[in-house]
Amino acid sequence: MNPRQIIADNVARIRQRIAAAAARSGRSADAVKLIAVTKYVGLDEIAALREAGCSAFGESQPQTLWKKAATLPGEPIDWHFIGHLQRNKVRRTVPLVACLHSGDSLRLLEELNAEVQRASLPRFPVLLEVNVSGDESKHGFAPGELEALWPALAALVHLEIRGLMGMAALEGGVDVARQNFQSLRECRDRLQKSDPKGIALAELSMGMSGDFEVAIEEGATMVRVGSSLFEGVE
Ligand SMILES: *Cc1c(COP(=O)(O)O)cnc(C)c1O
């Protein structure tokens, strides 16, 4: 089978699995956005994903994002940045990105806020990355740290903090992943209760190829799926 057909079939199958998991959590399929992670692939695969109806793409490295965005100008693509962003890459990255999932430190968020103001850009959508697994290798805020940071975060008026992002532990399988996703949701609920001014926190970006159904059952509104989209393509 040709790669385009394989990708189209994979997208269809993943959308069905998303819809089924959403139904199990009492929600419609539209309540969950599929972010197609394209960090492993090139422009042909991106074209195939677009033909299959995908319009939100995730990249984790700024240089790769810059290159792809420059090669696909004018395409109706929403780029989601999902990797660690160094502050010296902020200026070139912000104008290309629809939502940054990986707001992982106050210093980065302050830099983003300052850049949006400097360049007179519209309020910039960000999620706060929370290290719910506690893995040393992962970036992000500690779950217990955010409440004390609210005043500083709420002062970043050029950012629109839309929610939280998290990743499951590398070890432990689906059961541990579910606990990690529950922790992220509880963290969000706690913060919402403390009613931070002007901050809605509607989005929960959680779940990847190996665990997106569990994430949806636990309340994900965005899933970041990469490798499953390209299964069977050489
Ligand atoms: C690569 C990546 C994904 C996608 O992972 P798959 O297992 O290939 O689906 C999701 N989120 C982040 C932050 C990533 O870096």
* Cα–Cα nearest to 98, from 74, 82, 79, 112: 79
Query: What is the pLDDT at residue 209?
Result: 97
Ligand 1: centre distance to CA 207 (Å): 8
Return the best residue to mutate from 49, 61, 82, 131 for the ligand 1 pocket (most ligand atoms within 8 A of CB).
82
- Summarize pLDDT for 55-86 with one digit per residue, the tens: 999 999 999 999 999 998 777 899 999 999 99
Q: Is 84 in the pocket of ligand 1 (CB under 6 A)?
A: no
Percentage of residues of the chain with pLDDT beyond 70: 98
Instruction: Ligand 1, residue 35: give the atom nearest the CA.
Output: 10
Confidence grade of residue 200 (pLDDT, cut at 50, 70, 90): confident
The pLDDT mean for the chain works out to: 95
What's the DSSP call for residue 172? S
Query: DSSP label at 141?
Result: B
The reported pLDDT for the residue numbered 76 is 84
The model's confidence at residue 193, banded by pLDDT at 50, 70 and 90, is confident
Q: How far is the CA of 95 from the centre of ligand 1 (A)?
A: 22
- The mean pLDDT value for 142-152 works out to 92
pLDDT in tens, 105-121: 999 999 999 999 999 99
SS3 76: coil
- At 222 the three-state DSSP class reads strand
The more confidently predicted of residues 172 and 6 is 6
* Residue of 130, 208, 216, 223 to mutate, ligand 1, most atoms within 8 A of C-beta: 208
Which residue from 11, 224, 225, 229 has its CB within 8 A of the most atoms of ligand 1, so it is best to mutate?
A: 224
CA of 225 relative to ligand 1 center, distance in Å: 6
Residue 197: what pLDDT?
67
Residues 6+ apart with CB under 8 A from 213: 17, 18, 20, 21, 207
Reading the block at residue 227, the tokens are: 């490798």
Kindly tell me if the per-residue pLDDT of 172 is higher than 80.
Answer: yes
Report residue 125 as tokens. 């959508």
pLDDT over threshold 90, residue 33: yes
40 CB neighbour count, 10 Å cutoff: 10
| Averaged pLDDT, 82-101 | 98
**Rounded to 5 degrees, what are φ and ψ at 227?**
-55, -35
Q: Which helix (H) or strand (E) holds 102?
A: strand 99-103
Measure 60 CA to ligand 1 centroid, in angstroms: 8
If you measure from the C-alpha of residue 197 to the centroid of ligand 1, how many angstroms do you get, rounded to a whole number?
31
pLDDT exceeds cutoff 80 at 199: no
Q: Is 91 helix (H, G, I), strand (E, B) or coil?
A: helix
Structural contact between residues 69 and 114, judged by C-beta atoms closer than 8 angstroms: no
pLDDT for 215-233, tens place per residue?
999 999 999 999 999 999 9
- Share of residues in the chain with pLDDT > 90 (%): 89
Nearest to 108 by CA among 89, 80, 82, 133: 89
Residue 211 has pLDDT above 70, yes or no: yes
pLDDT tops 80 at residue 163: yes
Torsion 60-72-35-149 (CA) sign: positive
Which helix H or strand E contains 19, and what residues bound it?
A: helix 3-24
> pLDDT-based confidence at 234, cuts 50/70/90?
confident
- Taking the C-alpha atoms of residue 230 and residue 234, their distance in angstroms, rounded to an integer, is 8
Roughly what angle, to the nearest 10 degrees, separates helices 3-24 and 43-51? 60
| d(CA 224, ligand 1 centre) in Å | 6
Give the whole-angstrom CA distance, residue 225 versus residue 227: 7
Mean local confidence (pLDDT), 127-149: 94
Single pTM value for the model: 0.96
Give the chain's end-to-end CA distance (angstroms, integer): 11
* Residue 195 pLDDT: 67
d(CA 12, CA 16): 6
Contact criterion met (CB below 8 Å) for 44 and 51: no
Pocket-testing residue among 60, 131, 137, ligand 1, by greatest number of atoms within 8 A of Cβ: 60
Q: Assess if CATH 3.30.1780.10 describes domain 3-229.
A: no
